[in-house]
Structure 1
Amino acid sequence: MASANDISSLVASGSVASIFANHVYYWGDRHRDRFIGAERAARIDPTRDAQDSGLHFGMHSDCPITPMDALATFRTSATRLTSGGSVLGEEQRLDQQAALHALTADSAYLTHDETHLGTLAAGMDADLTILDQDIVGLAIEQSQNVSAVATVVGGDFVFNRGGF
């Protein structure tokens, strides 16, 4: 529930953040209804404020606390939907491009791996997942139907359902 001032302080100090975006989905309703109220719960994992302030942040699943499912984390950060179907902190939603950036380029930045991971460019490690649909161009409600067709690690296919 970092405040805008907290996030500004992180940026000013050169800090970065790893945000548990799945928190909103799995425990948002409970925090809102039982522990901290609607106003404070809306600030759980304030990804939009982090993005708007220029803070480098990645997102994680806290596995095994929640499943390691980057697409679910992507959806939660873009919709802010709780498991009960409520939107928690609508103003903290990320657009799909920002969510993808946090899961890829900024996550690599957090671990000082941005020179060889996190983006597709010549000379970068070829660690990537090929999806059956464009998650950035797809309506977020339809992203539940997206699945991986191939995974490449170090330039080698380790999973290939797509016949590449």
Structure 2
Amino acid sequence: MSSEAQHKDGVITRREFLNAAAAGAAFLSLAAVFAGLFRFLKPKVAYEEATKFKIGTPDNFPVGVVTKFDEKGVFVFSSEDGLYAISCVCTHLGCMVALTDTGFACPCHGSMFNKNGKVVGGPAPRALPWLQISRSVDGSLEVDTAMEVSAGTLFKIA
């Protein structure tokens, strides 16, 4: 039987199969190269929320007032000596702590913190961080959630 007869029966030869496989591999390789090139046209950038946010002017914080910024996870306290900010994100699993008479309490897992944010009970591994307060160029105050300061650090209002 000649190869032409086999070819007419719908059976391809080994040579034809290898040629088709080589062409397919070359096509897939070129497609992968071009896909990689087109990927560079669109940069992979992760847009993150800014860590600094404005909380207003010092006039917004009379002495003895506690202001909670729920969307940012921060308590701002005003005392006679100045302002300070404490994160209200529990250091155990990230729940939002609530303000109590004795300090802070995590409603989810029972962590307890004193008024300075120090752990006094529960599974939290470390104290609530104190956050930096600064004055922006326009005179308003801003809190930076990425900048921790030591407990007891106050922002003096001049």
TM range (shorter): under 0.3
Name the larger-Rg structure: 2
Output the TM-score relative to the length of structure 1: 0.22
